[in-house]
Structure 1
Amino acid sequence: MWKLFIFICCINYQIVTSSLSEANSTTFDYKSEFEKFKNNNNRKYLRNNDEMRSFKAFEENYNFIEEHNQHYQEGQKSFRLKPNIFADMSTDGYLKGYLRLLKSNVEESADNIAEIVGSPLMTNVPESLDWRSKGFITPSYNQQTCGSCYAFSIAESIEGQVFKRTGKVLSLSEQQIVDCSVSHGNQGCVGGSLRNTLIYLQSTGGIMRADDYKYVAKKGKCQFVPDLSVVNVTSWAILPVHDEQAIQAAVTHIGPVAISINATPKTFQLYSDGIYDDASCSSASVNHAMLVIGFGKDYWILKNWWGARWGESGFMRIRKGVNMCGIANYAAYAIVFGFKIEGRNVESTKTKCTKDFWWAVVVLRLQLRWNPAAWHPTSVWPPFEAHPFHPILQLRQARIRIPKHLVPRVPEKWSMSIRHTPRRYRVRPSNSFPAPLQQPPPFLHSIQRLFRSQLISMLLL
C-alpha cells in the first residue's frame, strides 16, 4: 500500500514540476519579447512601477495578439495584429494619450456642404486609386504625445491638392495649426476638431511651410508670419454625412480628404496589416482624425500619424461601404485658391477652355444681357444676391471659384453709373438687391441646366 502511495506522490511531483517549468518558460518568453519591444521602440521607464505596469499591459496585449492572429490563420479574420508602439499601453492609457479629437462648438448648420452628390463627378470614378502611386509620398509622421491629429489631417489634405495641381509635394506646417488655432476653438495638444481647423485657416487665409514653422509636438506661442504663407485657403467644404460615394468622388477629383474615425477598439490600437473590419468598432462616435489617400474595390487607404511602426508603414486599409468606425461621419477638405511653389505664385484652377466651356460662358452673357444691373460694378463681386437663377450663384453654392479672367466683363455699352442706375437695382447697405421685376425667359433656364454640370466638372478637373 505504501509503495502505491509513493508512486502517486512521484507522479504528482512530476506534474507540478513540469507545470512550473512551463510557466517559467512562458514568463521568460514574455520578458524576452518585452525586452525586444523596448529595444525596437527605444522605450525607457523612469520608475520601476511604470515598467511593471507596462509589462503587465504588454503581456495582456501579447495574449490578445496571439489569439487574434490564430483566428486570422484560420481564415476568420481579415487583418492581423502585432506588438506595435502601443503594445505596452493599456486601453485607458491609449485612449487618454492619443485619441483627442474634440467636438466643435460651431453649429453644424454653418457647415459648407459640398455639392458633389448628383453631379457628373459621382459617376466618373475609378474602381481603385492610390495617390501614393501617382507620386504623393510624404513622410510617416508621428504626432507623439501631442493630440494633433486634426492638424496633420487638414495640412496633408491641402498638400494633396497642391500635388494634384502641380505634381510637387509641398510640406505644410502642422505646428502653426496647433499653436494658432486656439482662438477658433482648438486646444493645442489637448485636442481639436476638423471644423475648427478649417474655420481658422479660412479666417487666417494661409499656412506656412513646415520648414519655416517646424513641428515640436507641444503647444507654443503662435508665430505665424503672413508674408511666409505659401497656401491661400479661401473656403472649405464638408461632404454629406454617411455618403462614402461622395468621399470616393472627392478623393478622385479633389485629392486626399480628411476624415474623423473611431479608433477606440484594441484591434485598432494593435493593427498590423490587412483590411480592418472589426464589427465591434462602432460608428456612433469618433475620436481621431486621419487622411483618406486612396481606395480599392472594397477598402479605403488611410494615413495615420503614429509613425511607421504602426500599421502598414503608417497606413491602414479599412472596409469600404459599411461606414466602418464612422469613417463617413465627418469628411472635409479645404478649398485652395492659390499657393507658392519655390517662391513662384501658382494659380489653383486650371480650366480647360473647350467648346462646352465657352457655351457656358454664353449662358453667363445671356444672363448679363437680360439683367445688366446685376453685374453693376458697384455691387459685391460677384453679385450673387441679385439673381436667384444666376449660374455664378449656383457655382458658389457648390464652392467653386471661377477665375476672374474667365468671367465675361461688362461691355462698355452696358455699363451704368450709379446716377443712371434704377433705384430698384442700387446696392443697399445690406448688399442685397430687390427681386427683379421680370424673371429670365424659360429658354434661359433650359440652357443653364444643360451646361451647368459641364461647367462644374471642367472647373474641378
Structure 2
Amino acid sequence: RIKGSNGYHDIILQLHHEFVNTLNGFNRSLPGNSAFATEPLRGASFISPANVKLPNSVDWRDKGAVTPVKNQGHCGSCWSFSATGSLEGQHFRKTGFLVSLSEQNLIDCSTKYGNNGCNGGMMDFAFAYIKDNKGLDKEKLYPYRAHDEKCRYNPQNSGATDVGFTDIESGSEDQLMEAVATIGPVSIAIDASQESFQFYKTGVYYEPMCSNETLDHGVLVVGYGTDEDNQDYWIVKNSWGLTWGDDGYIKMARNRDNNCGVATSASYPLV
C-alpha cells in the first residue's frame, strides 16, 4: 500500500492498477447494447480555419468558459466529465452563460448509446445522446452520485443541448491547437495509466512510457501555452478534485509526438 501526498494519495491506495481500473473510465471498445458498438459513431470532420493567426497561448478559464474542477469519486465516469466540460464551454460561447451540467444524467441515461455508467464510456456517445435527447440537465438539479442510478432526466431542468459533434483528425496536435484556439475547450482521451500521472503535481508532464493508442481516461483541454523553459504544453482539466495535480489541472506535453495520445481521440459538441 502506498500513502502519498496529493489528494488521492491521502486515501491509502492499494495497487496502482486498482486505482487506474477504478478511476479511468474511457473505453473505446465498450460492449454496449447499441449499433454504435459495432458501427463506430462518426462526427463531422474538423475543418482547419483559413487565414487565422493562432495565439501563442490560450486559457479558456480566463474567459469564463470553464466550470470549477469536479470530482468523479470512485466511479469510472471520467468520460461524462469530459463531455460536460466541452458542452459547458460551447454553451458559454453561444449564450454568455456558464452552466454546470449533469454528469449523473449522462451516467444514468446514455447506456443505449454504448456508455456503461461507472464502468466507462465515450464522450462522442454522450454527445449523440444529448443531441437525440434534445438536452442535458443542470448539475444542481440532477446532482452527482458516483454510482449508476435510474434515468431521471427532466426536460424542464435542461441546461444545454447539442446538435452533433466534431472529431479532430486523430493524432493531429496542430488541429487540436486550432480547435482549442478558435472553438473552445475540447474533450480528449489520454493514457493516464502510468504512476507518474497519478502522482503529478506541477510542471510539464511528459511520459516516455505513455501509449498514444491505448487510452483510458477522458479529460478536457482548456488551453495551451509554452513555459519559461520553452516547453509547449496543453492545459488539461481533470476530474479528480482540487487536491490532485495542480489544483485539479495538469500541463501535458504538447508537440512531442502526441504524447499520451492527447490528440488521438479529440472532439467537441456542436451547439
Please say whether Structure 1 and Structure 2 have the same fold, judged by a TM-score greater than 0.5.
yes
Q: Which of the pair has the greater relative contact order for Cα pairs under 8 Å at 6+ separation?
A: 2
Which of 85, 88, 112 does residue 8 from structure 2 map onto?
A: 85
Which structure has the larger Rg? 1
1:268-301 alpha-carbon deviations (Å, 9 max, x no partner): 0110110001211121310000000000031000
Q: Distance in 1 between matches of 2:199 and 2:267?
A: 27
Residue in 1 that maps onto 2:253: 319
Deviations 1:108-139 (CA, angstroms, capped at 9, x unpaired): 4x41232323x416x43111000111223422
TM-score (norm 2): 0.89
| Identical pairs, percent | 35
Between structures 1 and 2, the one with greater helix share? 1
SS at match of 2:159: strand
User: How far 1:106 sits from its partner (Å)?
Assistant: 4.7
Gaps of 5+ in 2: 31-36, 227-231
User: CA–CA distance in 1 between the matches of 2:217 and 2:9?
Assistant: 15
Instruction: Identify the residue that residue 280 of structure 1 maps to in structure 2.
Output: 209
Q: Is the 8 A contact 1:151 1:177 kept in 2?
A: yes
Aligned residues: 256
Q: Distance in 1 between matches of 2:104 and 2:6?
A: 29
Residue 316 of structure 1: SS of its match in structure 2? strand
Tell me what 1:305 maps to.
Answer: 239
Aligned to 1:382: none
Question: Which residue of structure 1 lines up, in the alignment, with residue 269 of structure 2?
Answer: 334
Tell me, in whole angstroms, the C-alpha distance in 1 between the residues paired with 2:80 and 2:166: 16
Q: Tell me the SS of whatever aligns to 2:90.
A: helix
Give the SS at the match of 2:44. coil
What's 2:44 paired with?
Answer: 113
Misfit runs of 4+, over 3 Å: none
Render the CA deviation track for 1:131-163: whole Å, top value 9, x for unaligned: 111223422211000111111111111111122
1:293–1:301 Cα contact (<8 Å) kept: yes
Decide whether the 8 Å contact of 2:185 with 2:223 is kept in 1.
Answer: yes
3-state SS of the aligned residue for 2:270?
A: strand
Asked if residue 165 in structure 1 is aligned to residue 98 in structure 2, the reply is no
Unaligned runs of 5+ residues in structure 1 are 1-53, 63-81, 337-461
Tell me the distance in 1 between the aligned counterparts of 2:107 and 2:249: 23
2:34 aligns with: none
Q: What residue is the counterpart of 2:131 in the other structure?
A: 202
**Coordinate RMSD, CA, aligned:** 1.7
Distance in 1 between residues matched to 2:6 and 2:246, nearest whole Å: 13
Q: Which amino acid aligns with 2:24?
A: L
- Given that residues 150 and 192 in structure 1 are in contact (C-alpha distance below 8 angstroms), is that contact kept between their aligned partners in structure 2? yes
Task: Look up the SS of the partner of 1:189 in the other structure.
Answer: coil
State how 1:143-158 maps to structure 2 within 5 Å. Answer: 143-158=72-87
Secondary structure at the counterpart of residue 121 of structure 2: coil
Counterpart contact for 1:113–1:240, Cα < 8 Å: no
Shift in Å at residue 191 of structure 1?
A: 1.2
Return the offset for 1:230: 2.9
Q: Give the distance between the partners of 2:68 and 2:124, measured in 1 at CA.
A: 25
What amino acid maps onto 1:94 in structure 2? F
Q: Is 2:192–2:215's contact at 8 Å kept on the other side of the alignment?
A: yes
Q: Aligned partner of 1:285: which letter?
A: T
